[in-house]
Chain A
Amino acid sequence: MGEILLPLLILSPLAASLVVFVSAGRLSACAVGTLACTGVGMSAVISVILSVMLLSGPATGTLQVMLWPWIHIAGFSADIAFMLDRISVVMILVVTIVGLLIHIYAVSYMHDDPGIARFFGSMTLFIASMLVLVLASDLLCLFIGWEGVGLCSYLLIGFWYDTPANTAAARKAFYMTRMGDAALLCGLLLLATAAGSLHIGTVLAAVANGQVALSAVNMAALFILIGALAKSAQIPFQTWLPDAMAGPTPTSALIHAATMVTAGVYLIARLHDLFVMAVPVMALMAVLGALTLLMGACTALVQSDLKRILAWSTISQLGYMFLALGCGAWQAALFHLMTHAFFKALLFLTAGAVIVRTHHEQDIFRLGGLRHAMPGLAAAFITGASALAGVPLVTAGFYSKEMILSGVWAAHFRLTHEWTLSGHVLWGIGLLGAFLSALYIFRCVFIVFFGKSGTTATGRTSRLMTIPLSCLCVLSLCGGIIEMPMTFPPLHLFSALLDPTLPPSHADEPGWLVLVGAIVPLAGLGVAWVLWGRPSPIMREIPGQAAVIRFARTGGGMDVVYDHLFVQPFRFLTWLTRHDILDHAITGTGRLTQAVSTSVLRSRTGFLDILTLGGRRGIRSADHLLGQIHNGRVRWYAAWIVGGLCAGLAMAVLA
């Protein structure tokens, strides 16, 4: 049963994608939407069935399906093989259910776009690739999904390809993730060489029993980390994600918030046994995650584009996940991944609905007071915002963030004998980040939905859009209750789910941690209300002139730095070398040879040549001279006669 359902899970969106692509232009928008939703819906149903099947089985049970051997050759083998374990269950549920909701939303959102078939084809293909990614039991197979989602992301960011900025953003996203992919490929090569296979189980076993040298483990972990960082838009690869908001909003919700960008988190969680062995890499991951979450939050605080705020917030939240992963809180990371998928999808979709109804106005300072025009959307957005901020007890974000913070608190890195990195510092950063999260998202809420009304909203949000929104609202409010902090004991469903596959983090955090974690988001909310929310807000707009603000708004200037450091030199160099230098060199050598041989030839024949040339010239000048003699003047003729006579006589006389 499972052996059939698991391939079918991937096949149904894939088939939908193929049908949609092939029949492009022949099916109506409605039919295309239905087809895509059916494909994703089927896989959602299958994933629910599969998870029930798996969870009803033994705790360590996994569902392994080997479809066919991919490469079997001396010293190496790779298969097209899938595996469903408890980590993948979480992921397929998130991917298919959130994916389904977003698809349903998109049917309405995209219904009058001429390229709808391309859109849904790419979206369903994305779901299929993502499922391949999360289900693959072989790293090479995972890599197919890994690149596949990148390709779909490229197609969807550049969906409205008429605008050069969009396609540029798409290419940027693809290039930056591709760099990570190259690093990931290196990591895979290293592991494959060391372990002789890329089957995840085999690799992890080889690492665990010391078959792989520690330096190789560190290197591999580093390479894979780079790949994950690029995919998840962490420092130093963060710049592509804000630009990726050029795509349609459902794309941003599905790919650039809920699923694809979390692939890095999933990969590291999947390979946690490898990373446990690589302590420096873990520390690096935690530090980068912490930095990213701070940086993302700070940048989000000064953005004025609604979708960009959400994009930076995504980067920041992914930073949380990496922080958690770096600290070994695998479960927390996955938990946050799940809740983040819910509330960030909700936020994006709501933002999309708002943007559609305000005639594609994305600047939050031109919006305002939308609370009255669209109360439902306002409520949904506020729900999402609360979840993102982690408003205590009622939202999912609170629980997952709490889990991360408690996991981070306990972490401890022994990098060297003298130098250790305590989790407390990282915890502090995380807490600061939580405060900033509440601040920036409620800044957005207060500016957009409260205050003076800026734009006029028209139309109604269609039913097809509201259903997914309400579902996501429920999920982002209640999705967290399945895992309570240790301090409130009763419910630990999520960790119970993952305990067999992912080691639980240490749970001996002091009780006041939860309290602090609850107060800080509320404080952020309060400050936001003071600054932007009151009837006469203190700060209507952050002064955009200040250099630091402008600096922060561009994402720490990293774009500019990269542009000057890599893009421009690359462009210049390619421009410089656009004509093949070697070609020129060789052609030039050829020309030189030709010239030399010609001159050799000439010098060989030169003597004769000069002789004949000189002779000819002499004859011609003599000719000329004779011509001069025949000048037609009688007197000269006479003179010549006399001269001749002279000479003749002289000869006669002298003889």
Chain B
Amino acid sequence: MSPLPALVLLPIMGGGLAWLTERIQLHTATTSPPSRNASWWMMLATLIVETLLLAGITFGHPTRTGPWLEHFSMPWIPTMGIAVRLDLDGLSLSLIWLSLILCFLCACLATRQVTVKSGAFYFLFLMTLTGIIGTFVATDLFLFFFFWELMLVPMFVLIAVWGHEDRQRAALKFFMFTQGSGLLMLLSILGLVITHDRETGVLTFDYFALAQTPLSPTLSMLLMLGFFIAFAVKLPVVPVHVWLPDAHTQAPTAASVLLAGILLKTGGYGMIRFNVMLFPDAAIHFAPIAMGLGVVGVLYGAWLSCAQNDIKRLIAYSSISHMGFVVLGIFTGSRLGMQGAIIQMLAHGLSAGALFLIAGAIQDRLHTRDMHRIGGLWAAMPRLSASGLFFAVASLGMPGLGNFTGEFLVLLATWPVSPAIATLTTVGLVLAAIYALRMVNRVFLAAPRVDPLLLKDLPARQTAVFACVMIFLVVLGLYPQPFMIFSGPSPLSVTATTSREDHAP
């Protein structure tokens, strides 16, 4: 029995339990303080079990027959050719690891602040996690779409209920953009399935079967564009990024971390898995435009980030800039660029997630995100400030940290394609220095501007959690080789046959 369904379903069930725990607690007695956080402990337990399961999957297969680590298949709606097909390869696995690490971060650092209806918060949080993990492992297009949409709804509620001052609008914007683009993707999926049905007479949503569909160049380009737009909105690529700054700014800290850390990565994952691999020829034709969009994203995000005064908004725009690198890397068409994009996704997930956590910690203490009203935190909170400095430096692409590795690989892959684009992109690195140090200067350095009584430094335990992230980033920056071997997406040509044979019933 494959552990994949358990991997997908565990978070949502644990979340349900967490919610129930809180309800029961409310109904019985709220007297004893240690049991007040029972639902939180429930969430943590869920995450731990999930991690153990994932560790089992990761290290439990010393001898791998094919590039796909795990496979699970079960008919769902046989008449439509829809099945619950779950497959796990290195790319999915590394992104799931990233998700879990960030969820732990949120659980340890950000969710305790949620006091209103915390059980529901944990439930929605873990439900989002289910959606994300499902997205990463689904290889049935219908199921993929299902999980893709499943991510949105809890996230929408998280933003709309627990967000900051302008949350309703931000949540609506987020939902409309992602949902609208998701519908385009659904159209593309249906188009692909129907084409496949016409050509071969088999109605199926199977990724591997659909990959073999013979397509005319125009149709293939159209279908790819449908996918691309959906992923571009999620990633986000510049002209359709407008939901992101609002959503990131208004979301509660934990949701910001999830958004920046993982939700954006589903876009990158989708581009790798569904754009480049399902429609390789169309992707090659489309590459110049996509790369152009990537560069525009890098520069535009960095530029706007330089002009923001809201910390979370600044980080949000910097995310746009970093995701520009991902698009650039994916569409260079070389393995180098794709590896770079993957490393960039992992590193950005960690660094941006940590930055959002720090911004959240600052907001919890000072109740403002305006950089004009924060300043000189270093004297009062050296641990938080040092962590902030570290992650700011990581996000500006300091060599030796993960982001640089990703950016360098992407640039290296871009240079043979177009030196001009690569040179332009390095301008983005200069801008990155400007926005990152602007934030550091305004928030951590400068003269103290706030009441020092408000400032309580991070507790040692939370600092330790941040230190773990720092170590991850340093490892990713200095020794990315194992990740690169491990996290490469399985090439389709091989997998389509081997996995069929391996797991044929």
Contact = CB atoms under 8 A, between A and B. Distances in A.
Whether A and B touch (Cβ < 8 Å) is answered with yes
A207 B334 CA distance: 25
A190 B412 CA distance: 8
Contacts of A182: 426-427, 429-430
Interface string B382-397: 1000100000010000
B345 interface: no
B336 interface: yes
Interface in B211-248: 238-242, 245
B17 interface: no
Given A178-B429, A580-B242, A161 B446 contact: yes
B37 interface: no
A632 interface: no
A459 interface: no
Given A154-B437, A182-B429, A193 B484 contact: no
A371 interface: no
A140 B484 contact: no
Nearest to A75: B336
Q: Interface SS of chain A: helix, strand, loop or mixed? A: helix
For the complex of A and B, the 4 pairs showing the least CB-CB separation, nearest first, are A161-B445, A578-B307, A574-B307, A182-B426
A419 interface: no
B286 interface: no
A148 B433 contact: no
Interface string A335-357: 00000000000000000000000
B376 A587 contact: no
B473 to A, nearest CB: 14
Contact of A167 (B339, B423, B445): B445
Given A76-B336, A189-B422, A587-B242, A70 B480 contact: yes
Interface of B: 238-242, 245, 300, 303-304, 306-309, 334-336, 339, 376, 378, 382, 386, 393, 398-400, 404-405, 408-409, 411-412, 415-416, 419, 422-423, 426-427, 429-430, 433-434, 437-438, 441, 445-448, 478-481, 484
A548 interface: no
A163 B376 CA distance: 11
B382 A71 contact: no
Interface in A486-525: none
A71 B409 contact: yes
B306 A574 contact: yes
A190 B419 contact: yes
A162 interface: yes
Nearest to A161: B445
A643 interface: no
Interface residues of A, number: 53
A575 B386 CA distance: 29
A575 B398 CA distance: 27
Contact of A161 (B378, B415, B481): B378
13 contacts: A70-B480, A73-B339, A146-B399, A147-B399, A161-B446, A162-B446, A178-B430, A182-B426, A182-B427, A185-B429, A186-B423, A193-B412, A580-B245
Contacts of A24: 382, 386
A227 to B, nearest CB: 11
A80 interface: yes
Interface in A287-338: none
B412 A171 contact: no
Contact of B399 (A68, A148, A580): A148
Nearest to A74: B335
A76 B339 CA distance: 12
A2 B412 CA distance: 33
B478 A80 contact: yes
Nearest to A185: B426
Contacts of A575: 307
A365 interface: no
B277 to A, nearest CB: 17
Contacts of A186: 419, 422-423, 426
Contacts of B478: 70, 80
A21 B385 CA distance: 12
A164 interface: yes
A614 to B, nearest CB: 37
Given A70-B478, A578-B304, A151 B415 contact: no
Given A71-B405, A182-B429, A575-B307, A164 B446 contact: yes
Nearest to A162: B447
Contact of B398 (A21, A68, A147, A578): A147
Nearest to B416: A193
Contacts of A413: none
Contacts of A181: 429
Contacts of B416: 193
Nearest to B246: A583
Nearest to B463: A22
A442 interface: no
Nearest to B306: A574
A179 interface: yes
A25 B382 contact: yes
Contacts of B238: 582
A310 to B, nearest CB: 25
A498 B480 CA distance: 36
Contact of B304 (A69, A185, A580): A580
A174 interface: yes
Given A21-B386, A71-B484, A193-B416, A164 B306 contact: no
Given A161-B446, A175-B430, A70 B479 contact: yes
Nearest to A79: B481
Contacts of B303: 574, 577
A87 B434 CA distance: 34
A179 B430 contact: yes
A189 B411 contact: yes
Contacts of B376: 161-162
Interface string A558-595: 00000000000010001101101011001100000000
B242 A586 contact: yes
A21 B378 CA distance: 13
A69 B429 contact: no
A578 to B, nearest CB: 4
Contacts of B433: 174-175, 178
A151 B386 CA distance: 13
A72 interface: yes
Nearest to B442: A167
A364 interface: no
B481 A71 contact: yes
Given A76-B412, A167-B445, 6 more contacts: A70-B478, A75-B336, A148-B398, A158-B441, A170-B441, A183-B426
B240 to A, nearest CB: 8
A151 B396 CA distance: 11
Nearest to A192: B412
A146 B398 CA distance: 10
Contacts of B438: 171
Interface string A33-75: 0000000000000000000000000000000000011111111
Contacts of A586: 239-240, 242
